Amino acid sequence: MSNQIVKVECYSGFQADERPLRIHFASQTLEIAEVEDRWYSPGATFFRVRTTNGERYVLRREDAQDVWMLTAFRAAQRDS
């Protein structure tokens, strides 16, 4: 998956953009149910999140540019 720029609404507590709350796409908004993991690399912060519909996303925040990118996606598992 190529990186796609997205708008992310965040909770700001102790620091700005502490954790994502919602992902805004052109036609929809997804509520984040859980931040499953967070890790740091030079100049970026990554979040693996699960949305309320069960889909999982990896979001990357470029710290210097204050830009959010969608770097990975996994659809919700459906029962057979």
User: pLDDT tens, position by position, for the chain (80 residues)?
Assistant: 568 889 999 988 777 678 899 999 888 999 999 999 999 999 999 999 999 999 999 999 998 888 999 999 998 887 65
Whole-structure pTM value = 0.87
CB 64 within 8 A of CB 41: no
> CA 44 → CA 47, 50, 69, distances in Å?
10, 20, 10
Is 80 a domain residue?
Answer: no
Is 79 a domain residue?
Answer: no
